[in-house]
Structure 1
Amino acid sequence: MGNIIPMKDKSLKLDLYLGIGSNLENPTKQIELSIQYLSDLDELEFIKVAPMYESKPMGPPDQPNYINTVSFFKANIEPAVLLSEIKKIEEMMGRVSISTKWSERIIDIDIVLFGDIELETDLLKIPHPLAFEREFVIKPLLDLDSNIYIPGQGFAKDLIKNCKYKVFNRIIS
């Protein structure tokens, strides 16, 4: 597996890419608000956000389309602590746990890439195991870094042609 952050070295900051999506209550605003909350975390330094993309839902078809993007941060935080903070933000924003997979949601924040960390626990997998199948993740990643590499998968520019889940609209914001 890849490197784990040596938390004693507070000067070390790894590249962190978070996939963010919403399909409820003005999704663009929800995404912007989530980025603000994430930026408020002391361990995260916001760098930039990719353009947003619209895509059909992966789950039940009777829900609104999703708006998705990827945000780029520099971070010095343990992955499990980061996941806990993300869950707190999602809950604070009104995300409700529903048993239906890929159901509509006010906000969804996923850890896509975190430096060269490769991690697999019961609660967390880094890189995100489905990122390479999702054009709504790969396209914004490429907007942020056209040469980005997904550990264990390859270069995003090579993976995009095989994405199962496509986008159909880039949101101009």
Structure 2
Amino acid sequence: MPMHKVFIGIGSNIGERLHHLQEAVDRIALLAGTEVRGVSAIYMTEPVGESEQNRFFNGVVELETSLAPEELRRQCKTIEQELGRPDAYPRWSPRVIDLDILLYDDLSLLTETLTIPHPELHCRNFVLIPLLDLANPLHPAMHKTILQLLSGCSDRSVLIKLKEGIRIKKRRNAR
């Protein structure tokens, strides 16, 4: 099966935020045909939209997977639900966990349930900066690197890099 390089944005602003992010990464690593290759630093960030809520902890996970985009999305939604996120929630509301597919190889995809690259990737420091911790890929629709997108980004929110981060747990009997 062909392997695909994918970047997933992770975020949490309810409860034990770092713990929720670690749990999400651990569960992503257990997905069939998937290997977590890296995790960015974790940043404390200001909430978008509804400002009367806790700050988010955000980061980006790099993985290789044989899962198709829609199946990966489905698996991410299952992980969110298992960690306590309800099916329906208001936009920009507080959340235990948020998993968003940012980039999937150089794919541009638009379906009823999934848009790749993530439609707001280019205008959010809390995605661009952690993504740069891992790589500087080309945005397949805008034909600019992540660094170029960051330099033109109008988002002026403040990110605070946390001292603690996420550990990548190796699978037992992994090949």
Q: 1:167 Cα deviation (Å)?
A: 3.3
User: 1:168 — aligned with what?
Assistant: 159
Cα distance in structure 2, aligned partners of 1:51 and 1:69: 6
User: 2:35 — aligned with what?
Assistant: 45
Aligned partners of 1:132 and 1:163 also within 8 Å: no
Cα distance in structure 1, aligned partners of 2:37 and 2:156: 27
Per-residue deviation, residues 117-143 of structure 1 (Å, max 9, x unmatched): 110001100010101111110001111
**Structure 1 residue runs of 4+, over 4 Å off?**
none
Cα distance in structure 1, aligned partners of 2:157 and 2:133: 16
User: 2:11 — aligned with what?
Assistant: 21
TM normalised by structure 1 equals 0.89
Give structure 2 stretches of 5+ with no counterpart: 165-175
User: 1:85 — aligned with what?
Assistant: 75
TM normalised by structure 2 equals 0.88
User: 2:167 — aligned with what?
Assistant: none
Cα distance in structure 1, aligned partners of 2:123 and 2:111: 21
Cα distance in structure 2, aligned partners of 1:155 and 1:71: 18
Task: Tell me the SS of whatever aligns to 1:140.
Answer: helix
Matches within 5 A, 1:1-173: 10=1, 12-145=2-135, 147-153=136-142, 154-161=144-151, 162-164=153-155, 166-173=157-164
How many residue pairs match? The answer is 162
Structure 1 vs Structure 2 CA RMSD? 1.2
Aligned partners of 1:13 and 1:74 also within 8 Å: yes
Cα distance in structure 1, aligned partners of 2:154 and 2:94: 21
Q: 1:98 Cα deviation (Å)?
A: 4.5
Cα distance in structure 1, aligned partners of 2:118 and 2:32: 23
Give structure 1 stretches of 5+ with no counterpart: 1-9
Task: Tell me the SS of whatever aligns to 1:57.
Answer: coil
- Paired-residue identity, %: 30
Aligned partners of 2:126 and 2:159 also within 8 Å: no
Cα distance in structure 1, aligned partners of 2:29 and 2:110: 26
